[in-house]
Structure 1
Amino acid sequence: MAKKPQQHRARKRFGQNFLQDEGIIRRIVRSISPREKQHLVEIGPGMGALTEIILESADRLDVIELDRDLIPGLKVKFFNHPGFNIHQADALKFNFAELMDDDQPLRVVGNLPYNISTPLIFHLLDHKGVIQDMHFMLQKEVVERLAAAPGTNDWGRLGIMTQYLCDVEALFLVPPEAFDPMPKVDSAIVRLTPHKELPHPAKSVECLDLLVRTAFTQRRKTLRNNLKTLLTADEIESLNIDPGCRPETLSLQKVVELSDLLADKRNRHD
């Protein structure tokens, strides 16, 4: 069982919880299914438990680790893998496009710290053009929001903006006992696969993001109230959408239609 050495204590400021259950680790890698000649990227390798199993199949693996104290151990552990590269960096600020030096898209994996998981996913979505897929360990509630369906309490900005760009699959749960130290929450594995063609392309992604942010500012309020600074009730109704309904009732397609209406309105006033 791959455990972290005792000399490295998990740091709260880095949100560190080291995966140590080998059965779970191998199940994650089976879900990823790395292959020779693929270019994998691991965010937050920690002590290398997942890294070790990925390198059994992958020729090339770049890892991004913020905690500089973990770097020497990773270098020693994987020194005999010529395709292994370490980047001591903050993944939130990292330019993933810089890792592309051939025509192989990136396959991104990681046990993401709970405190940065949402902004990091949005940062990675900005690089979707160079990414084949992403497999992440996240807090269960975050995965539920990513994979949410319209009409549920979990449907909101995170799910809408992610599903606009990606196919989202919640794969399986991971109990706290799989980690050291044990987190106080359940975790889950999610797969995000960027769409080759957007199912509902918006006229303006900026308008889409603005509309979603505004619509879900106060979930209990109606579209009429939440969107009054952007669209009138009559404009909302012109799309056969009831201005009196709540934002979580809208499908992705209807959200995009509203954002296109906003984009057209702004273009007329420019």
Structure 2
Amino acid sequence: MRHVPRRRFGQNFLVDRSVIARIVEAIDPKPDDTLVEIGPGLGALTGPLLERVRVLHVVELDRDLAARLRATYPSERLVVHEGDALNFDFATLGAPLRVAGNLPYNVSTPLLFHVATYTGRCSDLHFMLQREVVERMIAGPSTRAYGRLSVMLQYRFRMERLLNVPPSAFRPAPKVASAVVKLVPLASAGRPLARDESLFAQAVTRAFAHRRKTLRNALGGLVTEAEFVRADVDPDLRAENLSVVQFVALSNCLDRGTGSAWGTEGARRSEGL
């Protein structure tokens, strides 16, 4: 039975076989990998992935598609988790975990933040996303695309764009171009760590909420002149001029308590990204 794509779920199904093959080769699944696919849809990636792994987990929100997948593949090979990936507990799948998927573009940023809460359990992640989002993820300081999303993800991951994908590779064709990105969690050793991740997130969010203002004005009431000096950060710069390391240094000069930048509420907040 033909499935009619549902706009409310942001459904654009990958159909280009050459693109599918390139994504599977990039993931390079091994038989014993613990691999989960987010948003399998009609199974364009699911089938080829199952040719490589013994067991594949998928998280699918659309109940009709979930039922279709259950009817197509044996339950001992394909484990279907029906529900919203934004609420899914990836820790239940074990570790090390590999994650892949063609993320719905209308919720891609909240999904990225949610999956980032499981960084310590993941070995790598491969996602199809809107090309503009990928460009923001990998952007460097003092560029137009550099923003909160860049800083928060680069704090956790090493990222690489693997390939660009045209709208014609999907049915229905989206109005935007796409790209595949690989994310590899950074080891804690050898990189600057925020002592208080909630403060780190607050500073980054505040700074980019007023990205045309100087840091002195954007972070007024949060960072004092003395703290700018201790962090060796020029308060006359703008948020887009600071590297991830400098944002970490700035947050580490603040003393406001402890917390996590990756809580559920934070994962759902995508404004200003």
- TM-score of the superposed pair, with normalisation by structure 1: 0.91
Which protein, 1 or 2, shows the higher relative CO under an 8 Å CA cutoff with sep ≥ 6? 2
After TM superposition, the structure 1 = structure 2 runs for residues 58-97 of structure 1, keeping only pairs within 5 Å, are: 58-79=53-74, 82-97=76-91
* Gaps in structure 2 of 5+ consecutive residues: 258-273
Counterpart residue identity of residue 70, structure 2: K
- What is the aligned counterpart of 1:228 among 220, 231, 234? 220
CA distance in 2, matches of 1:61, 1:150: 38
Identity %: 49
Deviations 1:215-268 (A, max 9, x none): 1111111001001111123431343322111111001111101000113xx36x
SS of 1:189's equivalent? Answer: strand
Instruction: Please state if 1:204 is matched with 2:199.
Output: no
**CA-to-aligned-CA distance 1:61-107 (integer Å, 9 cap, x gap):** 1000000011222122212x73310011100000010112xxx4110
Q: What is the aligned residue count?
A: 256
Structure 1 position 213 matched with structure 2 position 178: no
**Paired letter, 1:240:** D
Runs of 4+ in 1 over 4 A off after TM superposition: none
Q: Distance in 2 between matches of 1:67 and 1:155?
A: 34
Letter aligned with residue 46 of structure 2: T
Q: Please list every run of 5 or more consecutive structure 1 residues that lacks an aligned counterpart in the other structure.
A: none
CA offsets, 1:122-153, max 9 Å, x none? 11111112211110000001101111111111
CA distance in 2, matches of 1:255, 1:200: 10
Which amino acid in 1 is paired with 2:82?
Answer: Q
Bigger Rg, structure 1 or 2: 1
Deviations 1:175-207 (A, max 9, x none): 000000000000000111111225111111111
Which residue identity is paired with 1:229? G
1:114 partnered with 2:105: yes
2:142 equivalent among 136, 148, 151: 151
- 1:109-188 equivalences under 5 Å are 109-188=100-179
| Aligned equivalent of 1:262 | 254
Which residue is equivalent to 1:40?
A: 35
Name the SS of the counterpart of 2:254 in structure 1. Answer: helix
- Once residues 241 and 220 of structure 2 are traced to their aligned partners in structure 1, the CA distance between those partners, rounded to angstroms, is 18
- For the aligned residue pairs, the C-alpha RMSD in angstroms reads 1.3
Native 8 Å contact 1:39 1:59 kept in 2: no
Paired position in structure 2 for 1:22: 17
Cα contact 1:134–1:193 (8 A) shared by 2: yes
Paired with 1:60 and 1:196, the residues of 2 have a C-alpha distance of 27
Letter in 2 for 1:11: R
Asked whether 1:244 is paired with 2:239, we answer no
Q: Quick one: distance in 1 between partners of 2:231 and 2:125?
A: 35
* Kept after mapping to 1: 8 A contact 2:34/2:93: no
